[in-house]
């Protein structure tokens, strides 16, 4: 299945990959002139074992059958040819773009220093020090640590320049808690947005929230009950801190949900309240946006003026409190939403769409409800408007798509949710395709794994959930316990800031480093780590880079670094070379990570970079290199500072793309 991003990325690999492929292509054509269409046959990869070089191709294994030769002989012939190119400094050229006539020319020895064939028939290529250093210089010159990027100059790639992308993620429900599932969805969504933006896309973040429906009715019922018991009024609560009010709401929901299960009378009342809430939401909509309601809920029940006023007040207060609370969370997590879509509003639109398409072969009435016959498309049949005349989630979401498009004429709409609604979404897209094929085509649903606690499924109904904020606070406390052992000169606000950032880094990283589809078994005590492959490890490494840079007086030297780099001799020690062999992969990590909507690829890259930097740091002194004459020593210092600066910039940028903020000290 191809999607918008996939199409934009297709055939547009990072420049170094194109160069490598061009070298291989020349080598193959020269060795075996009879082989046609070599370009499409060439695959390259990074050997898992670094001893096998930086790039490797299996072209010989593929051609062996056609040529009726032993694969290793084919590989030998090709690698001998490429070896000749390297020695003679052969000029290689290729078209920068399949559509353009711009030729890119370079010399083989600019990028490669060695090539070898290996059994069973691989051709392995080794990048030259010159190439590795120039890759670093390129990153250094881009001022990657400027965040957000000021211009294209600060961006590694512009494949999505000008594309308009709308994303939707997080989607918490007012009146209920913001739990770790939402935290996960938010981390994934925000990171994907930033990746898309990095490639030049204009990204609008949409937040869709369920402000109507049974969960709200249950909450409001609970609110009323609790207020009655306290012989109080809702306005009294308004003065208490937001945290207290939110706790009150969550408690109300639990009360309502429990009574709904057990108590027939409560169930009846809640069903009635449900209508009243839809009506209250309509009033709100009229006031706020001057929109006319589509549906007359009054015809389903007899409404008492006093009753609806009471429900309406509870609903409006509760809704506001919840939404303000969510804003405080988004602030801490670093997400800023552009558009908000309350379910109440898009539900109205959805109902209209469903009714307009009734009897046109899309929707039909069945057992008093309006359904979409998904079984015609090999899918499930689903109810869009229930027999009570209320829109289900399906109809609401159906109203959402055109509402989004109206506000922002997107080229691509990406909806990120838990995968439990994967199949539901297929039905929805099939229905949307019947009505708005042009929108359905532009829409992709990305289902991610669910967060579970070690005991089993997380359920808000049974109270077995972990609140997002609780988790952040727990992690913060753990970090505090850890850090108090090492004394420091933090001011109080800096200390708080570092705790907060480290906690959020730890949590987000623990979510993002794993692939999207798998479920996350999340043990709040164990899953968030501060050592090894973790967020704080990366923050620590960044702070270490900054610390070295501060002690170096680089400002005075930064100009000479750049002058020097081009002229610098290319002797590298083992650790320096290994570090450079990691850094140059930043381009590819971004490319793959964005193309596949996979922040985990960025995580792996950053960890690898930090690890190699720390190893280098441990083994060699940056500011006081050992045993050299003073001129040579100065050059070494400058080179190592450039390396440190690049690592810092790459870490800062990479972490930003994961939605994680760095600190200068920690």
Partner RNA sequence: GUCUCCGUAGUUUAAUGGAUAGAACAUUGGGUUCCGGACCCAAAGGUUGGAGGUUCGAAUCCUCUCGGAGACGCCA
Touching RNA, residues 182-211 (CB under 7 A): 210
314 binds RNA (CB under 7 A): no
* Closer by beta carbon to RNA, 440 or else 483: 483
* Closer by beta carbon to RNA, 26 or else 460: 460
In the list 14, 174, 256, 536, the residue contacting RNA (rule: CB under 7 A) is 536
In the list 25, 164, 620, 634, the residue contacting RNA (rule: CB under 7 A) is 620
Distance CA 406, CA 418 (A): 26
622 binds RNA (CB under 7 A): yes
Q: What is the DSSP string of 338-385?
A: SEEEEHHHHHHHHHHHHHHTBTTTSEEEETTEEEE-GGGGTS--EEEE
In the list 129, 434, 604, 633, the residue contacting RNA (rule: CB under 7 A) is 604
380 binds RNA (CB under 7 A): yes
Q: What is the DSSP string of 490-514?
A: --HHHHHHHHHHHHHHHHHHHHHTS
577 binds RNA (CB under 7 A): no
Contact criterion met (CB below 8 Å) for 202 and 239: no
- Sign, CA dihedral 459-463-469-470, equals negative
Distance CA 123, CA 44 (A): 10
In the list 85, 410, 537, 597, the residue contacting RNA (rule: CB under 7 A) is 537
* Closer by beta carbon to RNA, 163 or else 467: 467
Distance CA 284, CA 282 (A): 5
371 binds RNA (CB under 7 A): yes
User: Smallest Cα–Cα separation from 29: which of 17, 20, 38?
Assistant: 38
* Closer by beta carbon to RNA, 237 or else 507: 507
How many CB atoms neighbour CB 548 within 10 A? 20
Residues 221 to 280: which contact RNA by CB under 7 A? Answer: none
566 binds RNA (CB under 7 A): no
41 binds RNA (CB under 7 A): no
| Range list of β-strands (E), 222-304 | none
In the list 36, 366, 560, 573, the residue contacting RNA (rule: CB under 7 A) is 366
181 exposure class (CB count in 10 Å sphere: 0-12, 13-18, 19+): buried
* Closer by beta carbon to RNA, 61 or else 202: 61
* Closer by beta carbon to RNA, 323 or else 514: 514
Residues 498 to 517: which contact RNA by CB under 7 A? Answer: 498, 502, 513-515, 517
Q: Of the ranges 89-97, 247-255, 296-304, 542-550, which one interacts with RNA (CB under 7 A)?
A: 542-550
Q: CB of residue 239 vs RNA: minimum separation in angstroms?
A: 31
On the CB side of 377, CA atoms within 13 Å amount to 20
How many CB atoms neighbour CB 191 within 10 A? 26
- Give the long-range contacts of residues 168-172, CB within 8 A, separation 24 or more: 168/205, 168/206, 168/207, 168/208, 168/404, 168/413, 168/414, 168/415, 168/416, 169/205, 169/207, 169/415, 169/416, 169/417, 170/207, 170/330, 170/335, 171/207, 171/208, 171/209, 171/210, 171/417, 172/209, 172/326
Helix ranges (DSSP H) in 199-241: 214-229, 234-237
> What's the maximum distance between 2 C-alpha atoms anywhere in the chain?
94
Phi and psi angles of residue 467, each rounded to the nearest 5 degrees, phi first: -70, 145
Residues 50 to 109: which contact RNA by CB under 7 A? Answer: 51-53, 56, 58, 61-62, 65, 71
593 binds RNA (CB under 7 A): no
544 binds RNA (CB under 7 A): yes
* Closer by beta carbon to RNA, 155 or else 513: 513
In the list 316, 520, 554, 564, the residue contacting RNA (rule: CB under 7 A) is 520
Q: CB of residue 335 vs RNA: minimum separation in angstroms?
A: 20
CA torsion, points 180, 184, 189, 194, in degrees to nearest 10?
110
Q: CB of residue 379 vs RNA: minimum separation in angstroms?
A: 8
Q: Of the ranges 85-93, 117-125, 161-169, 331-339, which one interacts with RNA (CB under 7 A)?
A: 117-125
Contact criterion met (CB below 8 Å) for 206 and 338: yes
Site string for RNA, 330-349 (x = CB under 7 A): -------------x------
Residues 447 to 476: which contact RNA by CB under 7 A? Answer: 450, 456-457
Distance CA 259, CA 226 (A): 13
Site string for RNA, 383-422 (x = CB under 7 A): x--xxx-x-xx-------------------------xxxx
- Peptide bond between residue 283 and the one before it cis (omega within 30 degrees of 0): no
In the list 7, 45, 327, 496, the residue contacting RNA (rule: CB under 7 A) is 45
* Closer by beta carbon to RNA, 142 or else 637: 637
Q: Of the ranges 21-29, 131-139, 334-342, 374-382, which one interacts with RNA (CB under 7 A)?
A: 374-382
In the list 215, 245, 272, 508, the residue contacting RNA (rule: CB under 7 A) is 215
Interface with RNA (CB under 7 A), residue total 100
Residues 473 to 492: which contact RNA by CB under 7 A? Answer: 479, 482-483, 486
């Amino acid at each position: 299945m191809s999607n918008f991003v996939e199409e934009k990325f297709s055939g547009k690999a990072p420049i170094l990959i194109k160069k490598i492929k061009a070298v291989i292509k020349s080598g193959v054509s020269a060795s075996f002139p009879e082989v046609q269409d070599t370009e499409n046959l060439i695959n390259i990869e990074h050997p898992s074992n670094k001893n096998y070089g930086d790039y490797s191709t299996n072209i010989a294994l593929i051609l062996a059958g056609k040529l009726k030769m032993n694969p290793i002989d084919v590989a030998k012939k090709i690698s001998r040819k490429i070896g000749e190119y390297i020695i003679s400094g052969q000029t290689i050229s290729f078209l920068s773009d399949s559509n353009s006539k711009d030729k890119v020319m370079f010399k083989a020895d600019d990028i490669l220093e060695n090539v070898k064939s290996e059994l069973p028939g691989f051709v392995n290529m080794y990048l030259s020090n010159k190439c590795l250093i120039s890759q670093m210089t390129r990153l250094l010159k881009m001022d990657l640590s400027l965040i957000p990027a000021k211009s294209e100059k600060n961006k590694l790639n512009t494949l999505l320049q000008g594309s308009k992308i709308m994303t939707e993620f997080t989607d918490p429900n007012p009146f209920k808690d913001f739990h770790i599932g939402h935290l996960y969805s938010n981390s994934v969504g925000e990171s994907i947005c930033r990746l898309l933006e990095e490639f030049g896309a204009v990204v609008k973040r949409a937040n869709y929230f369920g402000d109507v429906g049974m969960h709200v009715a249950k909450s409001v019922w609970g609110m009323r009950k609790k207020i009655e018991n306290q012989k109080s009024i809702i306005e009294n609560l308004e003065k208490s801190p937001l945290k207290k009010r939110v706790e009150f709401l969550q408690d109300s929901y639990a009360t309502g949900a429990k009574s709904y299960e057990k108590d027939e009378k409560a169930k009846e009342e809640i069903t009635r309240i449900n209508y009243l809430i839809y009506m209250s939401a309509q009033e709100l909509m009229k006031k706020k946006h001057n929109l006319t309601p589509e549906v007359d809920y009054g015809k389903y029940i007899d409404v008492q003026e006093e009753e609806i006023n009471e429900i309406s007040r509870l609903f409006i207060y509760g809704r506001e409190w919840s939404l303000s609370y969510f804003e405080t969370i988004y602030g801490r997590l670093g997400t800023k939403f552009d558009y908000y879509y309350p379910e109440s509003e898009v539900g109205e639109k959805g109902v209209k769409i469903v009714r307009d398409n009734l009897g046109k072969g899309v929707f039909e009435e069945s057992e008093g409800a309006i359904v979409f016959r998904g079984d015609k498309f090999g899918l499930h049949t689903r109810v869009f408007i229930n027999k009570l005349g209320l829109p289900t989630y399906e109809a609401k979401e159906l109203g959402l798509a055109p509402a989004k498009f109206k506000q922002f004429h997107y080229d691509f709409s990406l909806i990120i949710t838990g995968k439990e609604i994967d199949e539901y979404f297929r039905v929805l897209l099939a229905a949307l395709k019947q009505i708005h094929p042009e929108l359905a085509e532009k829409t992709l649903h990305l289902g991610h794994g669910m967060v579970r606690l070690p005991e089993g499924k997380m359920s808000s109904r049974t109270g077995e959930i972990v609140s997002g904020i609780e988790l952040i606070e727990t992690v913060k406390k753990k970090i505090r316990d850890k850090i108090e052992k090492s004394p420091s000169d933090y001011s109080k606000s800096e200390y708080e800031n570092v705790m907060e950032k480290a906690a959020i880094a730890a949590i987000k990283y623990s979510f993002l480093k794993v692939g999207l589809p798998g479920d996350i078994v999340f043990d709040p005590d164990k899953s968030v780590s501060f050592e090894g492959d973790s967020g704080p490890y990366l923050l620590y490494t960044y702070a270490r880079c900054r610390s070295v840079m501060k002690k170096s007086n680089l400002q005075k030297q930064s100009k000479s670094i750049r002058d020097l780099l081009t002229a610098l001799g290319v002797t590298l020690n083992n650790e320096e070379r290994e570090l450079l062999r990691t850094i140059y992969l930043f381009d590819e990590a971004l490319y793959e990570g964005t193309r596949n909507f996979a922040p985990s690829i960025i995580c792996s890259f950053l960890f690898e970079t930090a690890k190699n930097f720390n190893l280098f740091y441990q083994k060699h002194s940056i500011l006081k290199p050992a045993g050299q004459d003073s001129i040579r020593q100065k050059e070494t210092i400058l080179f190592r500072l450039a390396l440190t600066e690049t690592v810092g910039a790459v870490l800062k940028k990479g972490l930003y793309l994961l939605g994680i903020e760095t600190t200068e000290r920690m």
